[in-house]
């Protein structure tokens, strides 16, 4: 599984960070987009991602910095002659938003949009390779986290035991690997379940929307490999700004991640007031605050950075420079 | 007067060209924006332009590549704590578009929007330094050109005649320059109108929206210094694509400009199929086609290029490299 940030700024774009957008790829083909702030299609032009392979778009909430890029991206996919249906998952008002924009701008699309309201997601298989469910967050408007979990996990043959039982590598191994029962030359029947190692854990990545209460994700984070969560402010700035914007500080997210023993935490959605360099309004200040309480693998997202989550649950960042 | 291109691509952005947007500055303070495709606010970040000094936005028509950047730009101006009213000029459905997006995304703005429907523009003074009127074009949806003309033109004293009449430079000259009558020491009264040179022509810049019939601008172009017009295709491609998209070729616009004896023609809104270099799908092909029939000053717009229109009607390009 892998993901790439297309935008990591909160509210407005800066010269180096666009507003929210995340490309996510499961073990199957194609990719999904989580949030689509203005300029997401422009970011995509600078990646190998194609709008033809996009399978679904998940919108966490309807604030502009998370959805204003959607009409333009849909239009461009149309001008590229996309014909495959595209799933649009989000709050119910997402459909009102898109229908309204399409009507006033007389936008027609050569492919169907399949709207899936976030509260009806449980019964709808959106992606072939990833099971997706949504977790309600706390923000000024309804906001959600999406949890993506591998649907199937490959199982390995217990080669050591097979060899010890005198069964040499050959067609029988192949049948067992596929989950089939196999019959030996001497008539013995081997049941696949007896000769496969216990499956590894299916990988889970959670992508949060805007949220001022990280504890809402505590239970989910206990069984996830990765949480991508907003850290709009440092705690000092959050206390100064007050609770009205309903965002999280790096400190609060990191505390929850530590309590959940989450292995990999990726922070994003930074207020444009934070710049590179040192001082209280720097990315370093956000990072230091999180590192002070969180002992897992911590990452601060930047636009275009790619992350690969290995089968063993290790998250590796491939920085864009 | 000057203008700067923020986007010069038709339909979808490319790696080097964004969709439509043009910053226009008259002789007074502040600036105006004509069209606001997705990513216009991102382009503005890379210019000295400030959303605080923006006085008015003119939308030629409601296709997405000309207006999808508007909600995000309005939101960002709000986050920058803009308080001055902003004029929004466009087709009547512009208000439906913005109201719908603001409602579904719960966008509030700390400054008022003054909607001015394009057909009510004649009686509404939008800008202090430029008179603006609109000319209907021909496109798949209602589309307009905006004509910007200096409201006042400075007049020069006829220094030669004053000196010949024995009136030396002094306070009297200042009064006449301001258009006031002046009384000489000997009691003679000089009327300003008698001692001012004929005013130069007020400069006019026309910015067209999408349009498949350049002749609709023929009369206006006869008295304009500059026309900025779409040239989506070469004539060859236009004939291949057919008339349905209702765009112009470089050839058709240039022919009209020649017929109008227009001094400066700036082509823009190029189909992304045209690239730098040579061949039938190159910017060179678009340029050659126009130069073949037009003998005035011809320019092919590129993103970020700035143009300065001098008082003498000369248009100078300041290329961004």
Chain segment B189-227, per-residue pLDDT in tens: 999 999 999 989 999 999 999 999 999 999 999 999 999
Chain A residues with CB under 8 Å of B41 CB are: 12-13, 38
Delimit the domains of chain B by residue range.
2-154+199-318, 159-195
Measured between CB atoms, which of B12, B45, B63 is closest to A76? B12
Res. B291: pLDDT tops 90: yes
Q: Write out pLDDT tens, residues A205-221.
A: 999 999 999 999 999 99
Q: What band does A277 get if pLDDT is binned at 50, 70 and 90?
A: confident
Residue carrying structure tokens 């430079």: B169
CATH of A2-154+199-318, one of 2.40.160.10, 3.60.15.10, 3.30.200.20, 3.30.1330.10: 3.60.15.10
> Longest Cα pair distance anywhere in chain A, in angstroms?
78
Confidence of residue A110 (pLDDT cuts 50, 70, 90): very high
DSSP state of A18: P
Interchain contact, B67 vs A105, CB within 8 Å: yes
User: Which pLDDT belongs to residue A154?
Assistant: 86
Residue B303: per-residue pLDDT: 97
Alpha helices in chain B (DSSP H): 40-45, 64-67, 70-79, 93-104, 159-164, 171-177, 192-195, 218-222, 235-241, 250-259, 283-291
Asked if the Cβ–Cβ distance from B62 to A18 is below 8 Å, we say no
Closest-CA distance of chain A to residue B142, Å: 11
Give the distance from residue B295's alpha carbon to the nearest chain A alpha carbon, in angstroms: 35
**B97 near A CB under 8 A:** yes
Catalytic hit among A35, A46, A53, A65: A65
Contacts of A13 in chain B (CB under 8 A): 41-42, 45, 76
Q: Which of B37, B79, B101 sits opposite A97 (nearest CB)?
A: B101
What length does chain A have? Answer: 321
- For residue B321, the model assigns a pLDDT of 58
Taking CB atoms and an 8 Å cutoff, what residues of chain A touch B65?
72, 75
B186 is catalytic: no
Check CB contact of B62 with chain A, cutoff 8 Å: yes
Q: Where are the beta strands (DSSP E) in chain A?
A: 2-7, 21-25, 31-36, 54-58, 86-90, 113-117, 130-136, 144-150, 182-183, 189-190, 204-207, 226-230, 264-268, 297-300, 306-309, 315-318
The mean of the pLDDT values for chain B is: 96
Mean pLDDT value across chain A = 96
Average pLDDT over residues B121-131: 92
Band the pLDDT of A129: cuts 50, 70, 90.
very high
pLDDT, average across residues A240-253: 98
């Amino acid at each position: 599984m892998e993901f790439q940030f297309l935008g990591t700024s909160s509210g407005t774009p800066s010269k180096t960070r666009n507003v929210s957008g995340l490309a996510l790829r499961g073990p199957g083909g194609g990719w999904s987009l989580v949030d689509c702030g203005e300029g997401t299609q422009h970011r995509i032009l600078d990646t190998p991602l194609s709008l033809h392979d996009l399978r679904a778009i998940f919108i966490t909430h309807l604030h502009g910095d998370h959805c204003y890029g959607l009409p333009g991206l849909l239009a461009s996919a149309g001008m590229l002659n996309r014909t495959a249906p595209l799933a649009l998952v989000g709050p119910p008002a997402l459909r009102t938003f898109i229908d309204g924009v399409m009507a006033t701008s007389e936008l027609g699309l050569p492919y169907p949009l399949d709207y899936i309201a976030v509260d009806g997601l449980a019964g709808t298989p959106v992606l072939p390779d990833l099971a997706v469910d949504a977790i309600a967050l706390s923000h000024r408007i309804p906001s959600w986290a999406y949890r993506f979990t591998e649907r199937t996990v490959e199982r390995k043959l217990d080669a050591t035991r097979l060899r010890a039982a005198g069964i040499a590598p050959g067609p029988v191994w192949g049948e067992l690997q596929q989950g089939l029962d196999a019959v030996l030359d001497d008539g013995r029947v081997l049941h696949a379940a007896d000769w496969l190692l216990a499956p590894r854990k299916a990988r889970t990545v959670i992508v949060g929307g805007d949220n001022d209460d990280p504890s809402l994700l505590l239970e989910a984070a206990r069984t996830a490999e990765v949480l991508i969560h907003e850290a709009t402010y440092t705690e000092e700035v959050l206390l100064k700004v007050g609770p009205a914007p309903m965002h999280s500080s790096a400190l609060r997210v990191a505390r929850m991640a530590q309590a959940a023993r989450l292995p990999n935490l990726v922070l994003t959605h930074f207020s444009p007031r934070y710049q590179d360099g040192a001082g209280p309004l720097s990315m370093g200040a956000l990072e230091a605050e999180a590192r002070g309480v969180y002992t897992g693998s911590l990452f601060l997202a930047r636009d275009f950075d790619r992350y690969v989550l290995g089968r063993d649950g290790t998250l590796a960042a491939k920085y864009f420079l």
